[in-house]
Structure 1
């Protein structure tokens, strides 16, 4: 049983900007795992930090906890136009992940936000909540990953047809996301290569989600395209951030070289993502801390 003092210690670690980012992330993921009002309170207080990467992870964790007590702070973050787009986007996605229909109206309101990544995120969150309402009472198929995704996996199982759906930019984004998560769940090299093609699609939000699922999939076939996206200075920082974390999760020698090459990147969120991804790399190759519990990727249980 964790004591109040231990929870407070984790909260103080999370809020301390003098602590290494990796240590603060570990405190965050531990609080997420503990759950409850005290953990939500500590996580909520950290939105005053100046690291967009950290705030993005705060919102993600609150969504994954699926506790409606986090709704007020997430709505505040979504509404706050002073927050970075990637933070507001993650707050919108988290509201959809919690699954409470009470946020439908606020999500619809921000579905026309002038920041396209925020607008598209809220559109997806609305579709997810509507899908949940339409399938209320039905058993939801549980894939090999434990994350709460912004769209349910498609029923289609043919990788070739899923690839076509994924890359068809005329289709609704929600349907393409469903194909994306079905490809992730299918696994294997063919699925990884199909997903990696998505890194060249038009929507930055879509490309960022591709990086996320490739990090979950952890297939080395995607490394060249992930490294190339990370290396593109003109690429949206939230895409480069996800590609860095995916490389840390895949943890092959080529990943290490790519991450080291951008460890001093002029873009702060990319630089910090590489810093944390290098820590992830060390875990995947033998370190003690289990990043499987954070950084937007949960590994499947052993088969």
Structure 2
């Protein structure tokens, strides 16, 4: 009994120190770092006060460990109106829209590519890549083509286009394969490779061993 008590006291002490740590760095002067820390702190609190991932896995068709849980709403208009000036709440609405995956939800996510911080727009592009729906190609293309957009966002838009892998996506990516920004160039290169994979019958992406074995035979 004493050992169990000491164990749980140590766990509580660790959790308390962790929360203090995140609370300190969530005020980081770099906005993207501060927002990421906000997400991390909210997730820690959520996991400590709920059954955590077991609650959301049935509603998550991607079975991924997301940085925030969906907020539970299935009303697209309500989710679009989620503006509480808290990055974590917007992110929860974003994952709810992704899980819905309807035409209305995808269009709402496309509109969100022009909203919020660079980190938020980057996350929007990421979930559009998960959805792999051609409805989002136009919005992703517009953000990739916007040279004043943050490189992080353009990078994720390129990879999302690579995941969708339509002929239009391939043409868009080829156009920016020589972009002046290195991260965009390299992202387009990776995305075109993803297009090849998505349009092939290969089971494994970037199957280097198979390629080497084929070339040596």
Matched, 1:155 2:155: no
Q: Residues 138 and 254 (structure 1 numbering): CA distance in 2 closer, same or farther, change over 3 Å? A: closer
Say whether the 8 Å CA contact 2:163–2:198 is kept in structure 1. Answer: yes
The one of 195, 198, 211 equivalent to 1:284 is: 198
Query: 2:46, 2:52 within 8 Å by CA — same for their partners in 1?
Result: no
Counterpart-to-counterpart distance in 2, 1:114 and 1:163: 28
Residue 154 of structure 1: SS of its match in structure 2? coil
Alpha-carbon distance in 2 for matches of 1:180, 1:145:
14
Aligned partner of residue 235 in structure 1, secondary structure: coil
CA contact (8 A) 1:156 1:162 kept: yes
Distance (Å, rounded) in 2 between the aligned partners of 1:136 and 1:271: 42
Tell me if 1:121 matches 2:36: yes
Counterpart contact for 1:189–1:219, Cα < 8 Å: no
Give ranges in structure 1 of 5+ residues lacking alignment: 1-99, 293-303
Q: TM-score, normalised by structure 2?
A: 0.81
Which of 81, 85, 101 pairs up with 1:187? 101
- Among candidates 181, 184, 209, match of residue 267 of structure 1: 181
Cα drift, residue 188 of structure 1 = 2.3
Shift of 1:137: 7.2
Structure 2 gap ranges (5+): 1-13, 207-217
- Name 1:221's counterpart in structure 2: 135
Q: Is the 8 A contact 2:53 2:65 kept in 1?
A: no
* Distance in 2 between residues matched to 1:212 and 1:138, nearest whole Å: 20
- Kept after mapping to 2: 8 A contact 1:127/1:174: yes
- Structure 1 segments of 4 or more deviating over 6 A? none
The count of residues paired between Structure 1 and Structure 2 equals 190
Contact 1:152 1:178 in 2 (8 A): yes
Instruction: Rate the CA distance shift 1:156–1:113 in 2: closer, same or farther, 3 A.
Output: same
Rounded Cα–Cα distance in structure 2 between residues aligned with 1:280 and 1:138: 29
1:244 aligns with 2:168: no
Work out whether residues 188 and 219 of structure 1, in 8 Å CA contact, stay in contact via their aligned partners in 2.
no
CA deviation after TM superposition for structure 1 residue 290, in Å = 3.4
Q: Deviation string for 1:70-121 (max 9, x for gaps)?
A: xxxxxxxxxxxxxxxxxxxxxxxxxxxxxx9464333222211111111111
Deviation at 1:246, TM superposition (A): 0.3
Inter-CA distance 136–205: structure 2 relative to 1 (3 Å threshold): same
Q: How does 1:1-303 map to 2 (within 5 A)?
A: 101=15, 103-136=18-51, 139-142=54-57, 143-165=60-82, 168=83, 170-286=84-200, 288=202, 290-291=204-205
CA distance in 1, matches of 2:205, 2:120: 24
Q: If the length of structure 1 is used for normalisation, what is the TM-score?
A: 0.59
1:154-207 C-alpha deviation (Å, 9 max, x unpaired): 211122222222xx3x44221111110011011122111100111111311110
